[in-house]
Amino acid sequence: MLKRFLTILSLSLVAVTATAEETYVAGEHYDVISPAIRTANPGKIEAAEFFWYGCGHCYTFEPMLAQWKKTLADDVSFRGVPAMWGGAMELHARAYYVARALKVEDKMDTAMFQTLNVDRKPLRSEKEIAELFAAHGVAEEDFSRAFNSFGVSSQVRQANATARAAKITGTPSMMVNGKYLITTRKAGGTANMLKVADFLIEKERAASGS
């Protein structure tokens, strides 16, 4: 009986170890960013998502990402980085930072995704975006002041510089600690991007001795 128990315990430990040792390989499942990009908070391991409100894959990824963010440990910070490569994307990036400046990001992120992906309204002007914010309780003068502020302009420039330095080619993509880029193609889908991100966060935690 004891021998049988020890055999079962041994097999269980082997299964747990195999799961724990599941690894992802640089160049195959993610890419190394060189040189590394400075993170917003050097005191924490940073996870970032490159996204666009008008990206259908980003829209469907958002609920999954929101749940994943709730599982992050205290030593991990998260930030969104709006992507910009033409059209109205810079306006949408400004809207992202305006929402944070006015502390209405929870409702405006949802509204922006909904408007662009479900309602199919392209939001190609400051006026159209202002009207959307107004429909969700943001005064036009507050929106205009934030939209054209130096602070929001600086954040937009920084986001564009970060995306260029990471050499992103599509959205959604993720970055861990400014060192690793995860794409849906290499990770094998959006759900797997989060698994690779978890692996790389643990890799950074181990490297720092945390």
Express each pLDDT in 69-81 by its tens digit. Answer: 999 999 999 999 9
Give pLDDT tens digits for 97-155.
999 999 999 999 999 999 999 999 999 999 999 999 999 999 999 999 999 999 999 99
| C-alpha atoms less than 13 angstroms from C-alpha of 159 in its C-beta half-sphere | 27
Give pLDDT tens digits for 10-61.
434 333 333 445 699 999 999 999 999 999 999 999 999 999 999 999 999 9
What residue ranges define each of the domains in the chain, with the CATH number in brackets? 31-185 (3.40.30.10)
Q: Spell out the residues 6+ positions from residue 109 whose beta carbon is closer than 8 angstroms to its own.
A: 53, 62, 96, 99
pTM score: 0.88
d(CA 35, CA 163): 13
Give pLDDT tens digits for 182-198.
999 999 999 999 999 99
Q: What is the pLDDT of residue 209?
A: 82
Q: What is the pLDDT of residue 160?
A: 98
- As given in the structure block, the two tokens for residue 15 are 């299964």
d(CA 199, CA 207): 12
